[in-house]
Amino acid sequence: MPPTEEHPVTPAPPRDDTRTLATVAHTAFFLLLGASMARFLLRHPGEPRTPWVVALGITLALLYVLGPALGAAPTRRRLLWLGLVVTTWVVLVVLAPSFAWCAVPLFFTALRTLPARAAVVLVALLTAFVVTAQLQLSSSFDPNLLLAPPAVAALATAVFVHMERQAQAQRALIDDLIRTRRELAATERREGTLAERQRLSMEIHDTLAQNLSSQQMLLQAADRTWDTDPATARAHVRTATGIAAHGLAEARRLVHDLAPSELADGAGLPGALRALDAGPDVQVRFHLEGTPSPLPDRVQSALLRIAQGALANVREHSGARTAALTLSFLGDQVVLDIADDGHGFTEPRTGAAGTAGTGAAGRGHGLPAMRARVRQLGGDLTIESTPGEGTVLSAAIPLEPAP
């Protein structure tokens, strides 16, 4: 995900086993109702109660058909419907005890509709009617008729209650998973936003801010020499104009989130590093060691930005006259070294390559930005500096072995 982007979460669909159980119960009810009706008509043809039994049987079937349309929730209409069904069935059993076994599917209906305690009470009453009806049909006392219906009712109730508890536990688990997934997605969005803000802040510091700083220094120098040395002043202005054009390209690249403009011409990282400079007062030399190999875009971009940030610190804080960039391909890693002959420093936390004083630290993105870039790629950033002897900054990034 990351954000990473959020994955939509939808509620779980109704359980298939619940639908299957409902279908089986409805089918069983109509089969038992039809069998009971056939048994009664075969054994009691032409009796005065026959029309009443037939009418009640049809009424019970029609009422039962209306049940699924009312849903399973214990609404007032659903409870009224259940009361009509049970009442019709009770009257039908009083007239024709052979309809007693239709109570088994009604167990399931009661358990689905009523709260647990009320459902158990209703099941017990229905079971009592079933036992009474079976004893009326029997010519002699049969223990099975007394014990079998309660056993069937107890088994059906236990199975249904167990399934309901499992379903509730599963629904609770699904709800927890959905909530956790939403929280994770929100966290990923926040982390992605913070990471992107950090990336943009480093990009702006290493490009636009450095360019603006260079322009400011050049324009200030031009202003100081405008009257005494117009040619030098105009050269400073032309250099500032070039830096402004480069900054405009960087701004457009940031807007479109493309690779660094120095890498866009296909020259690769060595060519981009070779083209870097640290202003008119610092001579920059570039060295390439080892056999160049293709580098991931993230690695090229990070090393280029580190070099730009380090040279900006060299220009602004070190007082150096020369700086050397060395890009080394060592097989399993690529190393970029930036060395200068400036006055160095003693506190690494107060500057970067060639940094002294609080200027770089005050901006807050020099060393922290470099370290963050290298750390994101699994590499190391080391700094060696001695007052009066310059500074060496080294960024080493591991590379995946070639296939």
| pLDDT of res. 396 | 93
| pLDDT of res. 397 | 92
> Which token pair is 325?
């960039």
What is the C-alpha separation between 343 and 40, in angstroms, rounded? 113
The number of beta carbons lying within 10 Å of the beta carbon of residue 316 is 22
Which of 183, 186, 174 shows the shortest CA–CA distance to 11? 174
| pLDDT of res. 75 | 76
| pLDDT of res. 398 | 92
What is the C-alpha separation between 233 and 375, in angstroms, rounded? 42
Mean pLDDT confidence for 257-283? 73
Give strand pairing partners of 383: 393
| pLDDT of res. 259 | 54
Chain centroid to Cα 97, Å, comes to 60
Question: Which pLDDT band, with edges at 50, 70 and 90, does 129 fall under?
Answer: confident
Q: 């360019």: which residue's tokens?
A: 211
| pLDDT of res. 5 | 40
| pLDDT of res. 282 | 85
| pLDDT of res. 358 | 35
The number of beta carbons lying within 10 Å of the beta carbon of residue 185 is 19
| pLDDT of res. 363 | 39
Decide which of 45 and 176 is more confident.
Answer: 176
Residue 385 has pLDDT above 80, yes or no: yes
Ramachandran category for residue 31: left, alpha or beta (phi over 0 → left; psi -120 to 50 → alpha): alpha
| pLDDT of res. 324 | 92
| pLDDT of res. 263 | 67
- Tell me which of 241-255, 287-301, 307-321 is least confident: 241-255
- Tell me which of 135-149, 176-190, 214-228, 323-337 is least confident: 135-149
Give strand pairing partners of 287: 326
Distances (CA, A) of 344 to 259, 294, 301, 340: 32, 34, 27, 9
Mean pLDDT confidence for 37-41? 85
What is the C-alpha separation between 240 and 217, in angstroms, rounded? 9
| pLDDT of res. 351 | 38
Structure letter (DSSP) for residue 397: E
CB 304 within 8 A of CB 262: yes
What is the C-alpha separation between 103 and 122, in angstroms, rounded? 11
Residue 264 has pLDDT above 90, yes or no: no
Q: 């590499």: which residue's tokens?
A: 379
In the chain, % of residues over pLDDT 90: 7
Kindly report, residue by residue over 56-103, the tens digit of the pLDDT.
888 888 888 887 666 666 678 888 888 888 888 888 888 888 788 777
What is the C-alpha separation between 112 and 125, in angstroms, rounded? 16
Decide which of 362 and 400 is more confident.
Answer: 400
Kindly report, residue by residue over 192-203, the tens digit of the pLDDT.
778 777 777 777
Residue 17 has pLDDT above 70, yes or no: no
CB 118 within 8 A of CB 74: no
Listed ranges 5-19, 141-155, 366-380; the one with the highest mean pLDDT: 366-380
- Tell me which of 14-23, 121-130, 148-157, 165-174 is least confident: 14-23
What is the C-alpha separation between 22 and 167, in angstroms, rounded? 15
DSSP-assigned letters across all residues of 136-169: HH-SS--HHHHHHHHHHHHHHHHHHHHHHHHHHH
CB 379 within 8 A of CB 326: no
| pLDDT of res. 95 | 85
Kindly report, residue by residue over 201-231, the tens digit of the pLDDT.
777 777 777 778 888 888 888 888 888 888 8
Mean pLDDT confidence for 292-303? 85
- Tell me which of 120-129, 217-226, 380-389 is least confident: 120-129
**Residue spans of beta strands (DSSP E) within 91-182:** none
Q: What are phi and psi of 255, to 5 degrees?
A: -60, -40
Distances (CA, A) of 114 to 118, 248, 262: 6, 72, 73
What is the reported pTM?
Answer: 0.40
Mean pLDDT confidence for 234-253? 80
Residue 271 has pLDDT above 90, yes or no: no
CB 57 within 8 A of CB 37: yes
In the chain, % of residues over pLDDT 70: 81
| pLDDT of res. 228 | 87
Q: What are phi and psi of 8, to 5 degrees?
A: -65, 145
Q: Could you give the angle at which helices 103-113 and 116-137 cross, rounded to 10 degrees?
A: 170
User: Is residue 165 classed as helix, strand or coil in its secondary structure?
Assistant: helix
| pLDDT of res. 11 | 41
What is the C-alpha separation between 379 and 72, in angstroms, rounded? 61
Bridging pattern class, strands 283-289 and 322-329: parallel
What integer best gives the mean pLDDT of the chain?
78
